[in-house]
């Protein structure tokens, strides 16, 4: 698996006062080539030093603890002191005369800070590894070797904390040429003209974007690439060379338009990868194009979710942790939900929504006291300023055939609040109204049961992501609340789209998390912190998981519940979201690793009921003649 990170920009910091360093490296005798290499290294060490200083200035011990990195700030202090020593030694070797640059770092939380630190450390380490054999001065060459040792230990710790290391597996760092290292560092640098200039060529950037998030990706995924077509001209026979670990793998580039193309992520790429555009016929790198791949979500492979090997489960939990702390969205594959169960659920949805309006309204939601049944087109609305949402839905919850014991138990008052919403009878079409009703019920209950099992299997991973015992949620998810929706979006030509009639308006989900089967028509978008909306591609045989408000509240906002929406699709779209909550009676007390409560302690059932009561007020009648309500979400 490879991990590729978004680097989002932020701040500036000042060089700390140097600590004492041995004078043995002062003013080495350097030829021209040695001077240029050591000057680049000095700038890279200054870059790392200022990054660690910024993190120490901006984030407290409490901030690190909230990001599940308790005590890791001590490591950053150590890294900062090591970089002071590195910079001082290199600066002395060059005779001083260095003014601190302006440094722009793209981070706005601890997790992004640590992630960017791993990338920048990889660039610095790769530069030393690539250049050390070209330094003729023996003292400077020895200094480079000592710095590589320190950088490698830093990088190993950083990789471990963000889930890149496979414990016990070999991990080699990637050598870079001086122009490659300089080009990767250049976006962060703004140095005064009084400093000795860096004489290596700058390579225009190749931007790589998975679109679907910040945590590890899988071989076979398509990567979107872009470059400045005005300054970079690629021939017809170009490959993208992936540099990671000791691997160098060239993959054909498919150019889709001027300045854009796609490439398939190859196997054997683990950790931060660097990309180089390569002239395949010439066998060498094109010197004016290169950058490392970046992205902002996850495809987590659940193959090891139930592995007897704790190490493999921890690795998977670390991948999920990275997504939950940042984007709040990730994909899962190898989830053990049979393909035929998913296909039959979609087939059932298509058959139901193809029935006449009179058949569908025999199970209209107005006939239910627990939000079960059919909701017509335009009957829901997240934003009262809109004119209704372009989807119709069928809602179902736990059925007696799945959990008959719970439905006959006596519950506490708090559980009864949510029980009315999630643990009471479904509305099923009758055979006399629709001959396919029994198949419809059977397919939906099979899917519901499979997703219920999948949701419960995720909780141990969420527990480890919060640095808790794997079994922490076991007694809190014995009879979990879960609502399933079948959704149908009619196709809308682009010229007929109206902002007042979205597929589903911007919202967050109420429960712990949502498991979404997207189908094969993309329309879902997720909102970044900047306010920008990004597409969530449809990846075959995966589910999209997103954190909901209940889990965010339960973890003191450590897990992120991210706004999302559905655009009107150009062609008919079906999707099946499965909203997964914990047991009704469970008090939402933050676990010990999440700090003291920020919110009033209430039960999970009462929280969902409270959220529903906040939004489920009558609206003006829609064009269909029904009462519009805020959407139960997608």
The reported pLDDT for the residue numbered 369 is: 78
Residue with more model confidence, 349 or 402: 349
The reported pLDDT for the residue numbered 213 is: 45
Residue 382 pLDDT level (bands cut at 50, 70, 90): confident
- Which ranges in the chain are annotated with CATH 2.60.120.330? 328-615
Of 225, 208, 296, the C-alpha closest to 526 is: 296
Residue with more model confidence, 305 or 378: 378
| Three-state DSSP state, 538 | coil
In 208-336, which ranges are continuous DSSP H helix? 310-325
Number of Cβ atoms within 10 Å of the Cβ of 306 = 11
Written as six digits, the tokens of 332 are: 């899962």
| Three-state DSSP state, 14 | coil
Distance between terminal CA atoms of the chain? 29
Residue 497 pLDDT level (bands cut at 50, 70, 90): confident
Written as six digits, the tokens of 456 are: 């419960």
The reported pLDDT for the residue numbered 297 is: 30
- Which ranges in the chain are annotated with CATH 1.20.1260.10? 7-201
* Average pLDDT of the segment spanning 376-382: 85
| Three-state DSSP state, 153 | helix
pLDDT at 216 over 80: no
Going through 359-449 in order, the beta strands assigned E by DSSP cover 373-375, 392-396
What is the 3-state secondary structure of 164-230?
CCCCCCCCCCCCCCHHHHHHHHHHHEECCCCCCCCCCCCCCCCEEECCCEECCECCCCEEEEECCCC
How far from 411 is each of 417, 444, 493, CA to CA, in Å? 10, 27, 49
147: left (phi over 0), alpha (psi -120 to 50) or beta: alpha
Written as six digits, the tokens of 334 are: 């190898």
Written as six digits, the tokens of 45 are: 């060490």
Distance CA 273, CA 268 (A): 11
Cβ atoms of 183 and 203 within 8 Å: the answer is yes
- Range with the lowest mean pLDDT among 230-234, 501-505, 543-547? 230-234
Distance CA 523, CA 503 (A): 8
pLDDT at 78 over 50: yes
Find tokens 């920020």 and name the residue.
Answer: 598
State the CATH class of domain 328-615: mainly beta
Cβ atoms of 455 and 513 within 8 Å: the answer is yes
CATH T-level topology, domain 203-296:
Immunoglobulin-like (2.60.40)
Residue 117 pLDDT level (bands cut at 50, 70, 90): confident
DSSP 271: B
> 208 phi and psi, to 5 degrees?
-115, 135
pLDDT digits (tens, 9 = 90+) for 573-631: 999 999 999 988 899 999 988 888 999 999 998 898 888 766 554 333 222 333 344 44
Distance CA 634, CA 393 (A): 10
- Which ranges in the chain are annotated with CATH 2.60.40? 203-296
| Three-state DSSP state, 489 | strand
> 62 phi and psi, to 5 degrees?
-65, -35
Written as six digits, the tokens of 189 are: 């640098």
Which percentage of the chain shows pLDDT scores above 70?
A: 78
Of 289, 300, 288, 280, the C-alpha closest to 208 is: 289
Q: Does domain 7-201 have CATH number 3.40.980.10?
A: no
Axis crossing angle, helix 178-185 with helix 110-131, rounded to the nearest 10: 160
Distance CA 512, CA 471 (A): 17
Of 627, 630, 554, the C-alpha closest to 591 is: 554
Distance CA 103, CA 48 (A): 10
């Amino acid at each position: 698996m490879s991990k590729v990170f978004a680097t989002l920009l932020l701040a500036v910091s000042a060089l700390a006062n140097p600590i004492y360093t041995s004078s043995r490296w002062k003013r080495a005798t350097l030829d021209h080539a040695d001077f240029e290499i050591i000057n680049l290294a000095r700038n890279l060490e200054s870059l790392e030093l200022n990054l660690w200083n910024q993190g120490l200035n901006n984030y407290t011990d409490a901030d690190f603890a909230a990001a599940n990195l308790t005590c890791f700030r001590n490591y950053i202090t150590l890294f900062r002191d090591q970089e002071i020593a590195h910079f001082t030694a290199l600066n002395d070797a060059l005779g001083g005369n260095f003014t601190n640059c302006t440094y722009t770092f793209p981070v706005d939380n601890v997790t992004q800070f640590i992630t960017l630190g791993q990338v920048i450390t990889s660039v610095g380490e790769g530069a030393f590894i690539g250049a050390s054999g070209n330094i003729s001065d023996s003292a400077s060459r020895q200094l480079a070797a000592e710095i590589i040792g320190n950088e490698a230990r830093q990088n190993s710790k950083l990789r471990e904390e963000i889930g890149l290391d496979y414990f016990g597996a070999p991990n080699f760092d990637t050598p870079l040429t001086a122009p490659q290292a300089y080009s990767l560092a250049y976006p962060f640098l703004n140095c005064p003209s009084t400093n000795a200039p860096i004489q290596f060529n700058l390579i225009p950037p190749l931007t790589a974007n998975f679109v679907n998030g910040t945590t590890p990706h899988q071989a076979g995924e398509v990567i979107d690439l872009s470059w400045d077509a005005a300054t970079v001209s690629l021939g017809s026979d170009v490959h993208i060379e992936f540099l990671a670990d000791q691997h160098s793998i060239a993959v054909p580039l498919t150019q889709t338009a001027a300045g854009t193309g796609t490439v398939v992520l190859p196997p054997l790429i683990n950790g931060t990868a660097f990309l180089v555009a390569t002239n395949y016929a010439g066998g060498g790198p094109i010197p004016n194009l290169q950058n490392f791949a970046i992205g902002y979500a996850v495809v987590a492979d659940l193959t090891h979710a139930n592995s007897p090997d704790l190490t493999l489960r921890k690795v998977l939990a670390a991948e999920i942790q990275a997504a939950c702390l940042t984007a709040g969205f990730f994909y899962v594959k190898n989830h053990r939900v049979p393909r035929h169960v998913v296909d039959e659920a979609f087939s059932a949805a298509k058959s139901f929504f193809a029935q006449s309006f009179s058949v569908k309204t025999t199970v209209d939601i107005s006939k239910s006291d627990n939000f079960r049944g059919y909701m017509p087109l335009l009957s829901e609305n997240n934003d009262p300023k809109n004119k209704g949402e372009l989807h119709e839905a069928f809602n179902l919850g736990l059925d007696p055939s799945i959990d008959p014991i719970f439905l006959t138990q006596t519950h506490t008052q708090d559980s009864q609040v949510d029980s009315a919403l999630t643990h009471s009878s479904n509305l099923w079409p009758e055979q006399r109204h629709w001959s396919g009703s029994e198949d419809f019920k059977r397919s939906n209950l099979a899917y519901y049961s499979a997703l219920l099992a999948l949701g419960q299997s995720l909780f141990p991973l969420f527990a480890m992501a919060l640095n808790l015992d794997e079994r922490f949620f076991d007694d809190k998810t014995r009879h979990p609340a879960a609502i399933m929706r079948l959704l149908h979006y009619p196709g809308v030509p682009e010229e007929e789209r109206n902002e007042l009639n979205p597929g589903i308006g911007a919202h967050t989900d109420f429960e712990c998390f949502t498991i979404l089967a997207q189908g094969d028509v993309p329309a879902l978008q997720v909102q970044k912190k900047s306010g920008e909306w990004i597409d969530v591609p449809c990846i075959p045989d995966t589910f999209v998981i997103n954190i909901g408000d209940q889990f965010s509240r339960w973890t003191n906002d450590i897990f992120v519940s991210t706004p999302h929406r559905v655009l009107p699709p150009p062609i008919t779209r079906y999707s099946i979201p499965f909203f997964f909550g914990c047991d009704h009676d469970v008090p939402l007390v933050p676990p010990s690793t999440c700090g003291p409560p920020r919110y009033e302690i209430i039960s999970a059932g009462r929280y969902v009921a409270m959220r529903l009561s906040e939004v489920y007020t009558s609206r003006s009648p829609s064009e269909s003649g029904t009462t519009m309500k805020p959407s139960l979400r997608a």
